[in-house]
């Protein structure tokens, strides 16, 4: 099996296959990156509410008995069953898993684009608020965003931070094309998030396809433009446009409900690179689990098929007590509670990757216990634990 991409989906496939089929299948993992770290935790960094340590991919692959090829793939040739790398090298496969993720780009000029630039740009805004240079901040979800949760987290944690600074004159706005907050999670979750926004004093503007014609100016389509000191927006995404694979107009790979690439034999795709409507790590992992089970069965292992009904899980960081949101897609009912609805209570729910990251102490999150202000920060010396973390990269490591 050749896995293109070492993000959430790629790593989940490798771990899942090893769990289900042992060493029956030879695995090659291909990625231009030397390291993996959980991007979902980037929202926590400016607020010191969590941290993701980098994991060395060559060490991970070696630990899993896989080959690691540090290259970018430029084409797939399904007829010849090869993936072609940027240096012209070809990697032959029996089964191919494409997990290249999406390509992010800023949705607007004149804004801080969270997820494409420096995650710590928010710290400069917080410092400006503290010093009185900034009194209004807008958090904007661009049209077409399928996973707006990070922006809600940024808004809520900014409100909490400003409150802690003792500042009461700053005005925060959250502007979204959704008709209700986090509507992808359904009614109950939406109501709970609206209450959080109200309590934090964040002005919510729903059903708005915002435009940003100039610095600090947001055209909401309703009345006069909104003027604020600073704007933070999520990026928009394109597919990987990988030649050789069927894709939609934006380059997202066509897959069926079993994550098989349409029209091709033994080619699978998972995660943000696919044309599934919601680009989210937990859903990427569920596709990866389907693929791992299928390839394990093809290799003769007795691997049960995972539940085919996708479930959306979201751990919403609030700066205070996190909320666990859950909804089976296609069902009306949803849940929103401060108690964990899954275990480990990971930011990205993934059957194999979440416990793996937890076990190797590669993620740090606020405590989900009764007194959430206390953050669990366990100093880790990865080189002593034998895991594939990168030594010297953890700011909580006393060695650094
Ligand atoms: C700020 C933020 C917060 C988020 N919060 C959450 C959350 O709370 N919960 C949640 O479930 N999800 C969350 N997400 C979404 C989640 O991170 C993504 O959905 C998930 O990472 C998608 O996994 P993936 O494997 O498809 O892609 P990625 O994780 O993006 O991995 C893609 C991999 O492919 C590699 N690659 C790219 N091009 C090539 C190439 N040409 N050849 C070979 N390899 C290539 C990349 O280097 C990378 O290793 C968040 C995302 C962001 C940015």
Domains of the chain: 2-102+239-310+347-366 (3.50.50.60), 109-235 (3.50.50.60)
Distance between CA atoms of residues 72 and 30, nearest Å: 7
Model confidence pLDDT, tens digit, residues 138-155: 999 999 999 999 999 999
Contact 279 CB / ligand 1 (< 6 Å)? yes
Q: Examine the pLDDT at 363 and tell me if it is beyond 80.
A: yes
Tell the residue nearest (CA) to atom 52 of ligand 1.
Answer: 40
CA of 40 to the centre of ligand 1 (A): 9
> What are 220's two structure tokens?
């909401």
**Peptide bond before residue 122 is cis, with ω within 30 degrees of 0:** no
Tell the residue nearest (CA) to atom 46 of ligand 1.
Answer: 5
pLDDT mean over 364-370: 68
Best probe residue, ligand 1, of 83, 322, 348 (max atoms within 8 Å of C-beta): 348
Distance between CA atoms of residues 291 and 3, nearest Å: 11
Q: Examine the pLDDT at 386 and tell me if it is beyond 60.
A: no
DSSP string, 248-297: -TTSPBPB-TTSBBTT-TTEEE-GGGB--S---HHHHHHHHHHHHHHHHH
Distance between CA atoms of residues 250 and 279, nearest Å: 14
Strands 236-238 and 103-105: antiparallel
Ligand 1 atom with the smallest distance to the CA of 242 is: 41
Greatest pairwise CA separation for the chain in angstroms: 65
Tell the residue nearest (CA) to atom 7 of ligand 1.
Answer: 40
Contact 115 CB / ligand 1 (< 6 Å)? yes
Predicted local confidence at residue 105, as pLDDT: 94
Across the chain, mean pLDDT equals: 91
pLDDT mean over 163-176: 94
> Is residue 122 a contact partner of residue 234, using CB atoms and an 8 Å limit?
no
Contact 119 CB / ligand 1 (< 6 Å)? no
Contact 281 CB / ligand 1 (< 6 Å)? yes
Tell the residue nearest (CA) to atom 26 of ligand 1.
Answer: 271
> What are 300's two structure tokens?
């003769």
pLDDT mean over 99-118: 90
pLDDT mean over 186-209: 96
Tell the residue nearest (CA) to atom 4 of ligand 1.
Answer: 40
Model confidence pLDDT, tens digit, residues 295-352: 999 999 999 988 889 999 999 999 989 999 999 998 888 999 999 999 999 999 999 9
Interacting residues of 370 by C-beta distance below 8 A, sequence separation 6+ = none
Q: Examine the pLDDT at 226 and tell me if it is beyond 50.
A: yes
pLDDT grade for 395, boundaries at 50, 70 and 90: very low
Contact 5 CB / ligand 1 (< 6 Å)? yes
Contact 8 CB / ligand 1 (< 6 Å)? yes
Ligand 1 atom with the smallest distance to the CA of 240 is: 38
Question: Can you tell me which residue has the tokens 């076990």?
Answer: 359
């Amino acid at each position: 099996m050749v896995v293109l991409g070492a993000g959430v989906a790629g790593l989940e496939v490798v771990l899942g296959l090893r769990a289900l089929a042992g060493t029956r299948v030879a695995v090659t993992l291909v990625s231009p990156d030397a390291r993996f770290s959980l991007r979902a935790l980037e929202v926590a960094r400016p607020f010191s509410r969590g941290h993701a340590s980098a994991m060395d991919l060559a060490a991970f692959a070696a630990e899993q008995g896989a080959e690691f090829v540090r290259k970018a793939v430029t084409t797939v040739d399904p007829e010849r069953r090869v993936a072609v790398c940027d240096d012209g090298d070809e990697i032959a496969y029996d089964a191919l898993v494409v997990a290249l993720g999406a390509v992010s780009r800023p949705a607007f000029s004149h804004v801080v684009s969270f997820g494409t630039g420096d995650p710590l740009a928010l710290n400069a805004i917080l410092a400006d608020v503290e010093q009185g240079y900034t009194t209004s901040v807008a958090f904007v979800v661009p049209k077409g965003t399928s996973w707006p949760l990070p922006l809600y987290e940024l808004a809520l944690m900014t409100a909490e931070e400003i409150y802690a600074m003792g500042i009461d004159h700053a005005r925060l706005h959250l502007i979204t094309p959704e008709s209700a907050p986090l509507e992808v999670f359904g009614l109950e979750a939406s109501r709970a998030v609206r209450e959080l926004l109200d309590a934090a004093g964040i002005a919510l503007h729903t059903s708005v396809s915002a435009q940003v014609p100039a610095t600090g100016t947001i055209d909401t389509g309703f009345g006069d433009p909104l003027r604020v000191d600073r704007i933070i927006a999520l990026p928009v995404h394109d597919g990987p446009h990988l030649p050789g694979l069927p894709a939609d107009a934006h380059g997202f790979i066509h897959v069926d409900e079993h994550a098989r690439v349409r029209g091709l034999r033994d080619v699978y795709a998972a995660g943000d690179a696919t044309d599934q409507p919601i680009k989210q790590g937990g859903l990427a992992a569920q596709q990866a689990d389907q693929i791992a089970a299928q390839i394990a069965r093809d290799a003769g292992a007795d691997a049960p098929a995972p539940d085919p009904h996708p479930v959306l899980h979201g751990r919403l960081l609030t700066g205070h007590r996190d909320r666990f949101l859950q909804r089976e897609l296609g069902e009306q009912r949803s849940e929103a509670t401060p108690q964990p609805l899954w275990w480990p209570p990971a930011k990205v729910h993934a059957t194999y990757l979440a416990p793996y990251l937890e076990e190797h102490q590669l993620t740090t999150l606020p405590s989900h216990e009764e007194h959430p202000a206390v953050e669990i920060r366990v100093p880790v010396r990865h080189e002593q634990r034998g895991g594939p973390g990168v030594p010297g990269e953890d700011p909580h490591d006393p060695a650094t």
